[in-house]
Amino acid sequence: MHILVVNPNTTASMTATIADSARRAAHPGTQIDAVTSSMGPVSIEGYYDEAFAVPGLLMEIAKGEASGARAAIIACFDDTGLDAARALATIPVIGICEAALATTAFIAQRFTIVTTMDRSRLPLEHLVHRYGMAGRCKVRAADIPVLSLEDPNSNARDRLRSEITTALRDDKAEAIVLGCAGMADLSAELGTEFAVPVVDGVAAAVKQAEALVSLGLSTAKRGAYASPIAKRYSGLLEAFAPGKLAAS
């Protein structure tokens, strides 16, 4: 089974962290192909970054499906470009936020997402509502830039731990969801430290992808995720016209 994991930002070191988590979660027979977007922001922190991350993401998903990937994972907790990717692809496309929430719902009644910047909190609250978890899940921000997670001299991990402590005390959270793909390497350590389940969306998405492929399921192509209607795109986006992207 070949699963594509796309980091929609352009920071290759973060892709390496994501790939390690994905491979540790994958079945021995699953091939994980982790790729970094070739265009867009170095990190995705808010709506503006998210918009400009989508074109590069779609390019990687089109290439991955053409090369034989059986499922694709979008490794950004904003589920960046998820609906567009599902319309583009026939294979299942999994967002790590949706996968993490679905997985955590099996093991806890109340849980809290701990994410990076406060500007990401409201978009994630919208996703929580969209995925039907508003009565069970709260969102907290540790106020740490995404790339600081890779800086050993920053206090990012201490601030993350502090916010988890607050979530367990004030939210009465029974489990914690790590709200950034850049936190993927911390789930086991934090789970042991806090003695609660700590869910990494990358690992959860890998298991969801494996299940969908094993069940022989693909993305529905009628209604919301019907293939884009053929039409001409102009200017810098000419290459993204329906049909052109998949063929490039």
pLDDT in tens, 97-153: 999 999 999 999 999 999 998 988 999 999 999 999 999 999 999 988 887 887 777
As given in the structure block, the two tokens for residue 27 are 């079945």
Calpha distance 60→51 (Å, rounded)? 16
- Which residue ranges make up each domain of the chain? 2-95+204-247, 98-201
Architecture of the CATH domain 98-201: 3-Layer(aba) Sandwich (3.40)
Tell me how far CA of residue 113 lies from CA of 43, 174, 209, in angstroms.
19, 11, 21
Calpha distance 196→139 (Å, rounded)? 17
Give how far the C-alpha of residue 214 lies from the chain's centroid of Cα atoms, to the nearest Å: 21
Angle between helices 156-170 and 187-194 (to 10 degrees): 50
pLDDT digits over 3-56, tens only? 999 999 999 999 999 999 999 999 999 999 999 999 999 999 889 999 999 999
pTM: 0.94
Q: CATH number of the domain at 2-95+204-247, out of 2.60.40.10, 3.40.50.12500, 3.90.226.10, 3.40.50.10800?
A: 3.40.50.12500
| Maximum Cα interatomic distance, the chain, rounded to a whole number of Å | 55
Calpha distance 203→21 (Å, rounded)? 6
